[in-house]
A and B are shown apart, each in its own frame.
Chain A
């Protein structure tokens, strides 16, 4: 399957600071990338849909001003957690998707964010 990378894999930041997470599709051009969040012992929750060259769409309850998404190219999407709070501590996972090729999604390895 396709390879998706995320950077950083782990980050610790102080309350009030911003953190940027990169998601790269290494071997195919993803028309769409998705961002998920996963709390311990829970399943993945979709946060937003990122389409190259257009604004991201957010799921209900996800603050777009807090979770800034930029999809600069068909292989790169970034998620910036602004003014982070301890409750934003979670496992953030991106996926790359090309509905024209297949319906499966290729997930990155995830980024563990800890806000102190």
Chain B
């Protein structure tokens, strides 16, 4: 069955360091993968979308890579700040390569950036 896995253990890092979060998937051939940020008691906020033909995408301090051979995406936050502390979710379209908008989410990784 289709599965998306993120490291469920919280990631604690020091301010200024680079945070790297991992998203692995099985039994999918996604056309794109998305990353969202979720703060406690709030809905997710869209961060980045990367397509299957893109190896890397950047937005300010954020960088996402997408390896369709390894079936893995890495999400990096450089020069991390305490305000980056949140849960980060990766998501795929549940219908794989087609675009239905029906997202399947990983369980999320909670990032804690310490000053």
Contacts and interface: CB of A to CB of B under 8 A. Distances in A.
B102 A107 contact: no
A22 to B, nearest CB: 14
Given A1-B46, A103-B49, A97 B105 contact: no
Given A34-B101, A103-B34, A104-B49, A109 B43 contact: yes
A34 B91 CA distance: 14
Contact of A103 (B99, B105, B106): B99
Contacts of B82: none
Interface string A40-63: 001111100100000000000000
Contact of B102 (A4, A34, A93): A34
Q: Which 3 pairs, one residue from A and one from B, show the smallest C-beta to C-beta distance?
A: A107-B43, A104-B46, A97-B101
A107 B45 contact: yes
Given A44-B89, A46-B94, A112-B41, A106 B103 contact: no
B107 A32 contact: no
B108 to A, nearest CB: 6
Interface residues of A, number: 26
B46 A106 contact: yes
B75 interface: no
Interface residues of B, number: 23
Given A44-B89, A104-B34, A99 B101 contact: yes
B94 A107 contact: no
Contact of A105 (B32, B41, B46): B46
Given A99-B101, A103-B49, A108-B43, 14 more contacts: A42-B107, A43-B89, A44-B105, A46-B102, A46-B104, A49-B100, A95-B43, A103-B32, A103-B101, A104-B34, A104-B49, A105-B34, A107-B43, A110-B41
